[in-house]
Structure 1
Amino acid sequence: MAAHKYSRFLGSALLLACLADARAGAADLVVIVSARNPVATLRADQVAAIFLGQSVRFPDGAEAVPYDLRLGAPIRDEFYARVTSKTPALLKAHWSKMVFTGRGQPPAELPDSAAVRRKVADDPGAIGYIERGALDGSVHAVLVVQ
């Protein structure tokens, strides 16, 4: 009986260690806007509303144009899982419904974080997400994705 309890303890400890390793391996993501955009911070629910087509404006009333990473990019999947709690399948279903009902189009896709940063830097109305390591002075982070 003691061996069984010890075995369960080791199994639980191993699972926790694997989960911690998975989180440590996850990229630090930031939501960015142009350095010329006056928005200083956004809440996760505000970012989710913009990226899900439920809001087309920043809190100050200015137009918000979201840019996505390419379909299948691990960072994209991580961003949507953490900010909107949607899997790729749920996201596809969401946009299928939005497009079918005429309520919106999904964000334009760009190939990588560098392309997102460049696009956002050039347009004060743009918003995107990138790896924290890709930040530079042309953009600023309005949300660190946890």
Structure 2
Amino acid sequence: MPFVSLHRFIACLLLTTFFCVSGWAQAGVVVIVHPSNANALSATDISRLFLGKKRSFPDGNEAIPIDQSDSSPIRAAFTETVLKKNEQQIKSYWAQQLFTGKGTPPKAVGNSSEVKKLVASNPALIGYVDSAEVDDSVKVVAEF
């Protein structure tokens, strides 16, 4: 009997360690804009922009969302956390929007560093990146 308890203890210890380490390894997702953009954005504003329900920043200037590639773990985190959808739901949503002529999905680029580079060069763009990618070339408007 003590052998079984020791096995359970070790198994629990390993699982706890795994979840702690995987939590440390997972970076946060931040939404970024050009440094000149003075707009404050709520999670709802961000969601509406990335779902094509809104096309401008609160100040009236054009807002162009940029997505990351389908294989990006940051995209998966953003989609679930901010858009409250899984990858299949977001694909279905955009298929319906395209079919009915109500909108097109944001342009998808490779990864966080590519999104950051594009956003830093264009005040109309809004994107999301791994929080570890942020520097002075962009402005963080939300953290998730």
Normalising by structure 1, what TM-score? 0.83
**Kindly tell me: are residues 103 and 15 of structure 1, through their superposed partners in 2, closer, same or farther at Cα, counting changes over 3 Å?**
farther
Segments of 5+ residues of structure 2 without an aligned counterpart are 1-10
How many residue pairs match? The answer is: 144
Distance 1:19 1:60, change over 3 A: farther
What is the one-letter code of the residue matched to 1:29? V
- Mapped to 1, the partners of 2:16 and 2:49 lie a distance apart of 34
Q: Which amino acid aligns with 1:104?
A: G
Whether 2:76 is the aligned partner of 1:77: answer: yes
Q: How far apart are residue 12 of structure 1 and its match? A: 9.5
1:135: which partner in 2? 134
Contact (CA 8 Å) 2:57, 2:63: kept in 1 or not?
yes
- CA deviation vs aligned residue, 1:16-39 (integer Å, no higher than 9, x gap): 876665544332111000012122
1:7 corresponds in structure 2 to none
Instruction: Supply the RMSD in Å over aligned alpha carbons.
Output: 2.4
Alpha-carbon distance in structure 2 between the residues aligned to 1:85 and 1:25: 22
Instruction: Please give the per-residue CA displacement for 1:107-135, whole angstroms capped at 9, x wherever unaligned.
Output: 01111111101110111010000111111
8 Å CA contact 2:27–2:132 kept in 1: the answer is no
Return the alpha-carbon distance in structure 2 between the equivalents of residues 13 and 80 of structure 1.
32
Secondary structure, aligned partner of 2:47 = helix
**3-state SS in 2 of match to 1:103:** coil
Tell me: CA distance 1:21–1:122, structure 2 relative to 1, closer, same or farther (3 Å): same
Distance in 2 (alpha carbons) for counterparts of 1:63 and 1:37: 11
- Compute the displacement of 1:61 (Å): 1.2
Bigger shift: residues 23-32 or 83-92: 23-32
Percent identity among equivalent residues?
35
Q: Which runs of 5+ in 1 are unaligned?
A: 1-10
* 2:118–2:125 contact (8 Å) kept in structure 1: yes
Shift of 1:85: 1.0
- The residue aligned with 2:4 is none
SS in 2 for 1:97: helix
Segments of 4+ moved more than 6 angstroms: 11-18
**Structure 1 letter corresponding to 2:141:** V
